[in-house]
Amino acid sequence: MSLIIEKLNKTYPNGVKAIDHLDLEIKKGMFGLLGPNGAGKSSLMRTIATLQQADSGSIHFEDIEVLKDPMSLRKVLGYLPQEFGVFPGMSAEDLLNYFAILKGIASKKERQILIQQVLELTNLYEVRKKYVKGYSGGMKQRFGIAQLLLNNPKLIIVDEPTAGLDPAERNRFLNVLREVGAQNTVIFSTHIVEDVKELCTDMAIMNDGRILYQETPTKATQKIEKEIWTKSIAAEELEDYQQQFSVLSSSYNPDNSLSIRVHSSGRPTDGFENTDPNLEDVYFIALRKE
């Protein structure tokens, strides 16, 4: 179940080039698409989901030529956009029944069985009678997963799903998505590095409409072993260190000094200590190289 994107381009009428000659291959499992806000991730997700047309290029999923046959993809697609609206004054159970009818599931008995399955999978069965508009942010996102599973999709796209969720809701949502991703091709678009680290078997980093880097999270960190260095400095020294070294990130210590992380093939200077790399280091290195 591979998704293959070749030479994809999309420029909006205002001149913004959202997707720039993009090539990408995504295989079965959880795929994380990392990038800052404005990197073009949502534009790419909408294009794959056939919600907007590309200017040029091609997208293939299994034997479907997506840009020429969008209806065939929609039959096997589950999509959770960044902003997911719900109908007011309807329970989760009734709303899922409505969506199931729209998706062509004519049998009432089949709908009932399917709705129970997706509610249990997303841990919403106990609150199935409650109005969805009264759900918390995390519950609404899990409801979004429930509705997209109604047509048993082979390709699932979720766009920035954990933005705004508190830690507990985020963990519940990621657990649901982890279970769903075991059997499907799932594209998980986010700017939160930790989400990709916890969830994805493969990843790519995107900015300015282009793919900068693609690798598994494990191999990506292994490739920069012995290349990440830390040092505590005074806050007022940060600008000087940024001019001298490749400073990836900084964080405050309890004494209000700064702990900086630097990328270097060898010890930058006295006082630096080698430390284990993490996925955030990989992310910042890719953006700096660009």
Contact 225, 274 (CB under 8 A): no
pLDDT score recorded for residue 184: 86
Please state, for a pLDDT cut of 70, what percent of the chain lies above it: 98
Alpha-carbon distance of 97 to 122, in angstroms, equals 16
Average model confidence (pLDDT) across the chain: 92
pLDDT score recorded for residue 165: 81
Averaged pLDDT for residues 215-240 = 96
Question: Quick one: the chain helix, strand, coil %, rounded to 5?
Answer: 35, 30, 35
pLDDT score recorded for residue 86: 66
Dmax (CA) for the chain in angstroms is 72
Answer with the residue of higher pLDDT: 260 or 84.
260
Alpha-carbon distance of 186 to 164, in angstroms, equals 21
Q: Which pLDDT band, with edges at 50, 70 and 90, does 105 fall under?
A: confident
Using DSSP bridges, classify how beta strands 29-34 and 185-190 pair: parallel, antiparallel or unpaired: parallel
Whether 20 shows a pLDDT value over 80: the answer reads yes
Tokens 């200077």 belong to residue: 269
Prediction pTM value: 0.86
Domains of the chain (ranges; CATH) run: 3-221 (3.40.50.300), 223-289 (no CATH)
Residue 189 to residues 99, 163, 227: CA-CA distances in angstroms?
24, 11, 28
Averaged pLDDT for residues 139-168 = 88
